[in-house]
Structure 1
Amino acid sequence: MTTATDFEVRNRDSIGLRVQHVLHGNPVLGPLAVLLVATVAFSIVNQRFIAAANLSLVLAQVTVIATLALGQTLIILTAGIDLSAGAIAVFSSILMANFCVKAGMPGVLALLLGLACGTAMGALNGFLVTRIKLPPFIVTLGTLTIFFSLNAVVSQSETVRGADMPSLMTWTGESIRFGQFQVTYGSIVMLVLFGFFFYALSWTAWGKHVYATGDDVEAARLAGIRTGRVLFSVYTIAGLLYATAGWILIGRLASASPNVGTEYNLDSITAVVLGGTSLFGGRGGVIGTLIGALIVGVFRNGLQLAGVEVVWQGFAIGLLVLIAVSLDQWIRKVKA
């Protein structure tokens, strides 16, 4: 005989299963809900949060991290990880600045060479992963140290002022107004990149190969996908994106400083995880990553306006990451 309690348990399990399937098919819904709830909550706590000037600040603050997280997303989709993202960005920014100031190059040439150097650093990671067959974690942990060391050598621990560089190098820090809302050109560049890679991952053969490689590399190889090439292309493109983030960073700081970026690696991974991309590869997307970066920015800004100490802001972000990973594990059980 079925009791009311049994019915309630089965009904609750059925609802949970439906939610599980919905989130598995639409991984962006969870992060979007978190972003909306956080925005409403912080707006209630402090009305200044929703002001156009503050929202402009949040977008400007997350632009560099979001661009780094875009490259990180491509790698995590293949079940890899990149701990050198921040190091490549900072080293690329230092190289661009020194090409201008010390080598006397015009802005366009210095920018192109800086982007090429960042791409080469990403290609080095890809070569070590695909040809030498080293684990991505070990490879990027090693290159993290190498690039930060080279950064210190090249820069001699000196900051290059934006005033000493051509205007192109700091252009990403300039902004345009939409009423009271301001958007930097760096943010526009970041949004264009997200749009491009949303298309590339969703509608091109390369994008489908990236997902297939991350979901099951051996099955992808047996299906005729050249997984080595896919992985190499992903790390190389990520290097280019990191270098672009370095250019945006120069505009954001109005200088090229060798003493920033120590937290960028973890922040970029945090944005990807909060955005619903699985650390096990094969599931997620760049729109979720953009939302994840905004979640980090909204929480830090909102907690700061609420008067919460910095240490507890980090605690809140870390707690969010643990919840996101636990949710990902739960969602992945749909496949079973």
Structure 2
Amino acid sequence: MSRPDDEVDADKSTVGDFFLRAPAVGPAIALVVAIAIFSVASDTFLNLDNMSLVVQQSLVIGTLALGQTLIILTSGIDLANAAAAVLATLIMAKLLVGGTPGILALLLGIAATVVIGAVIGSLVTRVKLPPFIVTLGMLTILTAAAKLFADGEAVPVADGLLNWLGTRRYLFGGIEITYGMTLALVMYLVVWYALTRTAWGRHVYAVGNAPESARLSGIKVNRTILSVYAVAGLIVGIAAWQALGRVPNADPNAYMLGNLDSITAVVLGGTSLFGGRGSVIGTMMGALIVAVLRSGLTQIGVDALFQDVATGALVIAAVALDRFARRQK
């Protein structure tokens, strides 16, 4: 006896609907597969020290990607996040050299990135400029400002607080972790909770899905978008603090491709560039995928340029799959 067509269609869409509802599942599977492949290809890849190093290498980009996720969920994009983080490291370093206490230097550096985020958000919401154009212009401005501020030279940072996130400890006596890794995990959990358990998080998703419908339902669209850019600015400031923990040196030429790497992590994590769908857990997986891919390919002797080719191909494939899933839906 044949079944109604609607029941057949429901069966066919089950898998697609599942991945649309749980966008972090695909990246998690991809991460496990990548680790398994490189574990077989290299005897040292699964070493605890190497695994810890992979996580540490993904730390700053993973934090930038956390803020990038919030912005992309609203159908925006931030091409200036890494440049803002670099400028913040220089502000902290210069203030410290000038005799400012470490805690004040840290707070002023983070405040600068929050202000930058608020300015970008205001241009997007009040002046109605496209996020791509605003952040592209801001990228140029901040990159030049960082080089002018530092006079083209790196500034060493020797302060207990500013370097604190790089402090190493050993978990269970053998797994090396840093305070920066712990802070990153806490931040991901906080943002996850905010997106999934608060009205603000529901508003963020609603604005990304259909801004006009969100407005008609009573959501303050401009206020929500502005708050997202400000929160992302706060996260960028913390990424700057993590960067000084990783390398105690404020370099105006650091993280030149950090903005693109953060977008790569977000896209590989299953967040849609078209807004309204994604998760920070997926972004965490995406950041780890990038770090695992680079570490694994390096250990098996693949040239860095070919590593970039492989990463770029993955990004294109991820966006294409997202587009295909949306059309099927």
TM-score, normalising length: structure 1: 0.93
Aligned to 1:145: 140
Gap runs ≥5 in structure 2: 3-7
1:246 to 216, 230, 240: 240
Is 1:29 aligned to residue 29 of structure 2?
no
Q: How do residues 97-108 of structure 1 correspond to structure 2 at under 5 angstroms?
A: 97-102=93-98, 104-108=99-103
Q: Does 1:213 align with 2:207?
A: yes
Whole-Å Cα distance in 1 between the matches of residues 224 and 9 of structure 2? 40
Change (3 A) 1:217 1:13: closer
Partner of 1:175: 168
Query: What's the counterpart of residue 45 of structure 2?
Result: 49
Separation of aligned partners in 1, 2:9 and 2:168: 50
Deviation readout 1:174-202 (Å, 9 max, x if unpaired): 11111321111111111110000000000
2:188 pairs with one of 180, 194, 206: 194
1:115 pairs with one of 98, 110, 113: 110
Matches of 1:36 and 1:147, distance apart in 2:
37
Equivalent-residue separation in structure 2 for 1:151 and 1:319 (angstroms): 31
Which of 301, 317, 323 does residue 307 from structure 1 map onto? 301
Pairwise CA distance, 1:332: 1.2
Which position in structure 1 is the counterpart of 2:73? 77
Q: Spell out, residue by residue over 1:288-328, the C-alpha distance to the aligned partner (whole angstroms, 9 max, x if none).
A: 00000000000000000011010111111111111111111
Cα drift, residue 17 of structure 1:
3.1
CA-to-aligned-CA distance 1:249-301 (integer Å, 9 cap, x gap)? 01111211111111101000000000000000000010000000000000000
Three-state SS of the structure 2 residue aligned to 1:182 is strand
Report SS of the residue matched to 1:224: coil
Q: RMSD in angstroms over aligned alpha carbons?
A: 1.5
Rounded Cα–Cα distance in structure 2 between residues aligned with 1:219 and 1:109: 43
1:325 and 2:319 aligned: yes
In the aligned structure 2, how far is the partner of 1:94 from the partner of 1:334? 47
The question of whether the paired residues in 2 share the 8 Å contact of 1:24 and 1:334 is answered with no
SS at match of 2:169: strand
Displacement after TM superposition at 1:18 (Å): 2.6
SS in 1 for 2:44: helix
Distance, in Å, in 2 between the alignment partners of 1:185 and 1:320 is 31
Mark the CA change 1:184 to 1:209 in structure 2 (over 3 Å): closer, same or farther: same
Farther-moved stretch of structure 1 (177-186 vs 304-313): 177-186
Give the TM-score normalised by the residue count of structure 2: 0.95
Counterpart residue type for residue 32 of structure 2: L
Q: Name the residue aligned to 1:262.
A: 256
Aligned residues: 322
2:228 and 2:315 mapped to 1: Cα distance? 24
CA apart distance, 1:173: 1.2
Equivalence for 2:273: 279
CA displacement at 1:111 relative to structure 2: 0.5
Distance 2:207 2:281 in 1: 20
The answer as to 2:139 corresponding to 1:124 is no
Given that 1:79 and 1:279 are in contact with CA atoms closer than 8 Å, whether structure 2 keeps it comes out as yes
For residues 147-196 of structure 1, give each alpha carbon's deviation from its aligned partner in whole angstroms, at most 9, with x where no partner exists.
Answer: 11111111111211133xx2111111111111321111111111110000
Identical residues among aligned pairs (%): 50
In the alignment, is the contact (CA less than 8 A) between 1:21 and 1:334 conserved in 2?
Answer: no
Q: Specify the SS of the correspondent of 2:105.
A: helix
Deviation, structure 1 residue 334: 4.2
Q: Give how far 1:329 is off.
A: 1.0
Distance 1:272 1:193 in 2: 16
The amino acid of 1:182's aligned partner reads E
Q: 1:160 pairs with 147, 152, 155, which one?
A: 155
Q: Deviations over 1:23-58 (max 9, x none)?
A: 111111110110000000000000211000000100
Q: Which has the higher helix share?
A: 1
CA distance in 2, matches of 1:14, 1:35: 29
For 1:330, the aligned partner's letter is: F
Q: What amino acid does structure 1 have at the position aligned with 2:149?
A: V
**2:92 is matched with which residue?**
96
Which residue type is aligned with residue 161 of structure 2?
A: L
User: 1:13 Cα deviation (Å)?
Assistant: 9.1
Q: What's the secondary structure of 2:270's corresponding residue? A: coil
2:282 aligned with 1:288: yes
5+ residue gaps, structure 1: 3-11
Equivalent-residue separation in structure 2 for 1:250 and 1:259 (angstroms): 14
DSSP 3-state at the match of 2:45: helix
